[in-house]
Structure 1
């Protein structure tokens, strides 16, 4: 496969997954903002989203104050913000258009229809209709695109690169969401109903609430939340599932220069596969997740170097 084609497929999947995960992060922050708390604490939670995506300066250049409405506007519909949901879905559509002949009609139509529907919506319309409903729409459209892609495309290299982009992005974003929200809740969470609500919101943001109840059949505890989202190989959005999938895809698309990237992927998978949650928490969850995010970033760089179109 041409590296240019692989590059477009890979980034189409990454941008689609990024939009979905951003919707999940914003949704859980919005849900947590409904719990009684000080204005300062609420704004700190919204500011954490900017810090997580290294967007503090870009935000401060455009807005005077960190608050719910400004951060939502910036992260949902600001065309000048390359990390907004608007920009991500636009970029996904542009990459899909560049390789339209490689995609099935259903995959292209789903990606294109998502962008057409989004570009017609102004932020005020989204807000008045309900921001939660908008986040559900983003998650649904991502699921539809993913479903028709895996349900209609030939299982060849094109699908492998789509799968690879989605897994890299999903693993990185699961780590980011857990890192930010785990420590906010550990610091500020209250015992009782409020605490249960906020941990439940975190699990729902990663489609893990029902899975948690099925696996543990007990009260929600921070250690079990971290274990589920990191170390359970049967949890689709866990770090274990993502890194295992990356290793399998790289084995399927191996080439003459990818040995080091495959080795790094294997090391990262082993780092997760043989971890135990008690040891992770004793080491410090933040430092463990920061190391994971550094490693998966380096892995993405290796994939770009070995398989994709060279940067201009």
Structure 2
């Protein structure tokens, strides 16, 4: 597969996943969070930027400003609007391998992105963004052949989910000993209902940590996502990123070896390590696989 096409498909998957990730984080930690002080709101805004992979100033001092910046600002690389535009633009560049249904889905999403939303409509908009992301993923998962196109799309999604989940677990948004903090983290990762199924009690920190880090069956757990990314890397990663892939394999092995009873105490360190490894793989792919040389004039 041409590196240009592989890179475009990878970035479509990554951007579609980022749309879902940012929408869930904003919904849990901003739109539906209990009102706090200005300092609290500023801390949440800064931590959210860190979780989605971009450092930002503390200018987002209230909920409206945070939602405007991370949901609607087309010039903010971490925003939903930017992710939607990236997904559509990369799909356009890979039209020969992207299905018409996926292209139509991304094109419609981009055309319907609002430039402003009322504060009391934020939850509704964020739900719409999640639904559009799920629709794009459903088109690929339901119709695409399991070839290299699907592998690179899945790899982009897996690395993005892996890095964002890991950064959330290592961030100050999560207070490891506080039950309500774990409830919020589970919902922000899309794992709240899956965790509670079969349980008749609120999240116990140790159980919630073990679930989000080590569950083998939930696609929202760190272990599952790391294995997903590693499987895709094993199928499509070339030799020029072998060192980064090896580092990622070591992270997967460390997760597999982590006892469930030690998950709570290890959550911050594991989050930092996994996020760093995922970011290194993504950067190496961009620099050594997907980049194309400038034409010689």
Corresponding residue for 2:289?
A: 307
The 2-side partners of 1:305 and 1:267 are apart by 22
Q: Quick one: which of 96, 118, 133 aligns to 1:127? A: 118
In the TM superposition, what is the alpha-carbon distance from 1:182 to its structure 2 partner? 5.4
The alignment's C-alpha RMSD in Å is 2.4
The 2-side partners of 1:235 and 1:211 are apart by 8
Segments of 5+ residues of structure 2 without an aligned counterpart are none
Corresponding residue for 2:47?
A: 48
Q: Deviations over 1:72-101 (max 9, x none)?
A: 111111122121111111011000000112
The 2-side partners of 1:254 and 1:291 are apart by 21
Structure 1 residue 213 corresponds to structure 2 residue 204: no
The 2-side partners of 1:38 and 1:81 are apart by 25
In the TM superposition, what is the alpha-carbon distance from 1:70 to its structure 2 partner? 1.1
Corresponding residue for 1:204?
A: 187
Structure-2-length-normalised TM-score: 0.89
Aligned CA distance change for structure 1 residues 178 and 259 (closer, same or farther; 3 Å) = closer
Q: Deviations over 1:130-182 (max 9, x none)?
A: 11111111111111000101212222111110011000001011112233365
Q: How does 1:239-278 map to 2 (within 5 A)?
A: 239-278=222-261
The 2-side partners of 1:247 and 1:210 are apart by 26
Segments of 5+ residues of structure 1 without an aligned counterpart are 190-194
Corresponding residue for 1:232?
A: 215
Structure 1 residue 180 corresponds to structure 2 residue 175: no
The 1-side partners of 2:248 and 2:27 are apart by 31
Q: Quick one: which of 64, 70, 80 aligns to 2:75? A: 80
The 1-side partners of 2:193 and 2:54 are apart by 32
Structure-1-length-normalised TM-score: 0.85
In the TM superposition, what is the alpha-carbon distance from 1:303 to its structure 2 partner? 2.9
The 1-side partners of 2:123 and 2:36 are apart by 20
In the TM superposition, what is the alpha-carbon distance from 1:222 to its structure 2 partner? 1.7
Q: Is the 8 A contact 1:240 1:272 kept in 2?
A: yes
Secondary structure in structure 2 of the residue aligned to 1:219:
coil
